[in-house]
Structure formats: structure tokens, C-alpha cells
């Protein structure tokens, strides 16, 4: 039972660290893209087919 708790805690810590690592680059990308192209709507690209 103790091994299971340690494994779950380790997995949760790894997922949390990965989420923190990926959050800031994604935020920076979205802020920069919004400054360069303020009127971006992804669904317009689908309709132009």
C-alpha cells in the first residue's frame, strides 16, 4: 500500500511539473501572437476551404 501511495504522489508531482514547464511558453506564444495578429479567429481558416 505504501508503494502505491509513493507512485501516485510521484506521478502527480511529475504531471504538475510538466504542466508548469509548458504553461509559460504557451502563454508567451499566445501573448506574442495576439500582439502581432489581434484579429485571429481559427474557425475562419476552416470556412475558407
Residue 7 lies in a domain: yes
Query: What torsion do the CA atoms of 23, 26, 28, 31 make, to the nearest 10 degrees?
Result: -120
Residue span of the structural domain in which 32 resides:
2-36
Residue 44: which residues within 8 A CB-CB, separation 6 or more?
none
Taking the model in full, what pTM does it have?
A: 0.53
Side-chain-side CA neighbours of residue 5 (13 Å): 2
Per-residue pLDDT of the chain (49 residues; tens, 9 = 90+): 555 556 778 888 889 999 999 999 999 998 998 888 878 777 776 655 5
Residue 14 cell numbers, joined: 511529475
Look at residue 39 in the predicted model and tell me its pLDDT.
80
Number of domains in the chain: 1
Q: What is the DSSP letter of 48?
A: T
Residue 6 lies in a domain: yes
Amino acid at each position: 500500500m505504501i508503494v502505491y501511495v509513493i507512485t501516485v504522489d510521484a506521478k502527480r508531482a511529475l504531471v504538475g511539473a510538466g504542466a508548469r514547464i509548458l504553461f509559460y511558453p504557451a502563454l508567451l506564444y499566445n501573448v506574442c501572437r495576439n500582439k502581432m495578429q489581434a484579429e485571429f479567429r481559427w474557425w475562419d481558416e476552416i470556412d475558407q476551404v
